[in-house]
Structure 1
Amino acid sequence: MEQAAGECWVVGVDVGGSGVRVGAALADRPVDPTGTRTVAAAAAARVSASAGGQDARALLDRLLPALDTVVAGLPGGARIGAVAVGATGMALLGRDLAARLPGPLARATGARRLVLAGDAVTAYAGALGTAAGVVVAGGTGLVAIGLRPGGSWCRADGWGQLLGDCGGGAWIGRAGLEAALRAQDGRNGGSPVLLAAAERHYGPVAGLPAALQPRPDRAALLAEFAPAVVAAAEEGCPVAGGLLRRAGEEIA
């Protein structure tokens, strides 16, 4: 049933390492998935070359069109009361996002309230609210966050593709590509199955360093190979199966 015009909506934005999702739901009501308007956008380029961390401009170039699509689909007269953004890397690489997102988001939606948080925090709030517990936010990256009964927070991993995110999509993809390159070299621990999969997906493996190293979105590119690792494990590849077991151990 179409909602009455003039009601207040809340917009949620999920910024991951491989894409952006925007959704809108009526404020002050339990969220009904059938009444939530959502849209997805392409991955935002992730760069960390500056002290400000992630590139807000690259994110806005992808986020604003998706936001416009969601807002345009709301009932006539609907108003946006708040926008909540959960962005990967917000805690450690979010200085540029915090400085440059509020103005454009307010202008695009008319919202007077804006919340910026790490995606682990928004994942926790969505799953458990304010109850004590533990949530693993796993996608391109990976972080675990917990709230103790006494009210104090704790976090594990979420250190990014170079230093951590163990068990996440980019970690699995990178480990699978390493096994592919080991097979190419004839080293122990290699997987011919993953080598063939890598060549199907990326082309000749000799070109992998040049294709991946300069890319600001290389975490997303690495994560693209994770499904190939899963498929290889399902086909009986022992190396791929071992990688997935190790990923499970890291997550646990």
Structure 2
Amino acid sequence: MSWVLGVDSGGSGLRIALGAVDEAADGPKDGSKDASADGDVGVRTVGTAVSAEPVRTGPSGIDPDHLLERLLPAVRTLLTREGVRSPVAVAIGAAGMATLGDGLRAELPAALESALGVRRSALAADAVTAYAGALGQRPGAVVAAGTGMIALGTDLAGWRRADGWGHLLGDCGGGAWIGRAGLEAAMRAYDGRHGGSAALLSRTEAVFGPAREMPGVVYPRTDRPAVLASFAPEVARCAADDPVAARILDEAARHIVDAAVAACPRVEGCQVALTGGLFKIGDPLLRPVRAELAARLPHVRPVPAAGDPLTGALRIAAALATGSLRLPRDGRMLSVPTERDE
């Protein structure tokens, strides 16, 4: 039995899981829905911890010192509680790792070895851990949609990424995109312009207050994408009776599938999984997404996501511990420093 750590770092803080790897077992033991994922090692979650404060991002990227400051006390408490001396491997998935992770890649491997005695580490973009959680180590594509939206695919030789460029440059079809489109339709109705929705105007004023005050509600907020995304469920609730809301979700579905098509590898047996909190709004979005997928990727099999990004981080750590990591190494998407001799 080997012990591994998985870490998921995002806008809501750090989630940490300690897993037990049974190298003699076949298939994942993490409670996932598919216990026969090709290339997956059995890993069982034995304990979890949370650090609610998000890791800071500064001019030079994600702050490695702040990540360690939040991570190490929680990990030590978790290891002590479970009676584990040291993990064999750790995998950290972080939002922004691909573009803002230079400091983490430079400093974390040595710091983790010094603090925890762990010699095998992987640093991954959160889209990669979402992929590993959803599909394991199969070829395919995963669409991860929450406040933002990104699609990531692999043929196990390299990664194909689509969107994930943030709410100003992309994330088309994501929660902030849907919420902003719904609020725009509300403001059109308030003005009496074409394309407005009285239903969405009513929900806007019920949630945020008078429509004329909306600029002051939205523009000064440093968490503006999250504020916009909070309105996406209201758009979904209106969609059954309001054609404007329904058209917004239809367009969101087209954007989401655009990204899936761009990311999906052209290989036999390719699978596509949808993951992330946005899809919890249910059928008003899922119906048009499924219809678009069937029309544009008829050779691809949609499957439910087996697990979340924390599950994915554990799976990557387990594969690293057993020398069975098949997901493609990449300087930005999945960085695996040279393993030191034990």
Q: Per the shorter chain, which TM-score range?
A: 0.7 to 0.9
1:197 aligned to 196, 199, 203, which one? 203
The TM-score, its normalising length taken from structure 2, stands at 0.59
Distance change >3 Å, CA 115–CA 221, structure 1 → 2:
farther
2:3 alignment counterpart: 9
The aligned amino acid for 1:143 is I
- Matched residue, 1:137: 144
Separation of aligned partners in 1, 2:57 and 2:51: 18
- Residue 38 of structure 1 contacts residue 70 of structure 1 at CA under 8 Å; is this kept in 2? no
Q: How does 1:213-224 map to 2 (within 5 A)?
A: 213-224=219-230
- Partner amino acid for 2:192? G
Distance in 1, matches of 2:127 and 2:235, equals 25
Name the CA distance, whole Å, in 2 between partners of 1:42 and 1:202.
26
2:168 maps to which of 153, 162, 165 = 162
Q: Identity of aligned pairs, percent?
A: 51
Q: Deviations over 1:92-150 (max 9, x none)?
A: 2334554566677667755443322111111222233332211112222111111237x
Q: 1:164 deviation in Å? A: 0.6
- Superposition pairs for residues 1-252 of structure 1, below 5 Å? 8-17=2-11, 20-28=14-22, 30-33=28-31, 36=45, 37-39=47-49, 42=52, 44=54, 50=59, 52-54=60-62, 63-64=70-71, 67-68=74-75, 71=78, 74-98=81-105, 111-148=118-155, 151-234=157-240, 236-252=241-257
TM-score w.r.t. the length of structure 1 is: 0.76
Compute the RMSD of aligned alpha carbons: 3.4
Ranges in structure 2 where 5+ consecutive residues have no aligned partner: 33-43, 258-342
Give the superposition deviation at 1:163: 0.6
Distance 1:27 1:54 in 2: 30
Is the 8 Å Cα contact of residues 89 and 160 (structure 1) preserved in structure 2? no
- The whole-number CA distance in structure 2 between the counterparts of 1:117 and 1:146 is 14
- Mapped contact 2:13–2:55 kept (Cα < 8 A): no
Deviates more, 1:83-92 or 1:207-216: 207-216
Change (3 A) 1:43 1:33: farther
Unaligned segments of structure 1, at least 5 residues? 1-6
The one-letter amino acid of 1:44's match is P
2:147–2:225 Cα contact (<8 Å) kept: yes
Question: Within 1, Cα distance between the matches of 2:223 and 2:67?
Answer: 12
Give the C-alpha shift of residue 70 in structure 1: 7.1
CA distance in 2, matches of 1:69, 1:158: 33
SS at match of 1:79: coil
CA distance in 2, matches of 1:220, 1:23: 26
Q: Structure 1 CA distance, aligned partners of 2:63 and 2:195? A: 37
CA contact (8 A) 2:6 2:90 kept: yes
User: Taking CA–CA contacts closer than 8 Å with sequence separation of 6 or more, which of the two structures ends up with the larger relative contact order?
Assistant: 2
Q: 2:48, 2:78 within 8 Å by CA — same for their partners in 1?
A: no
Number of residues paired by the alignment? 241
Comparing 89-98 and 121-130, the one that deviates more: 89-98
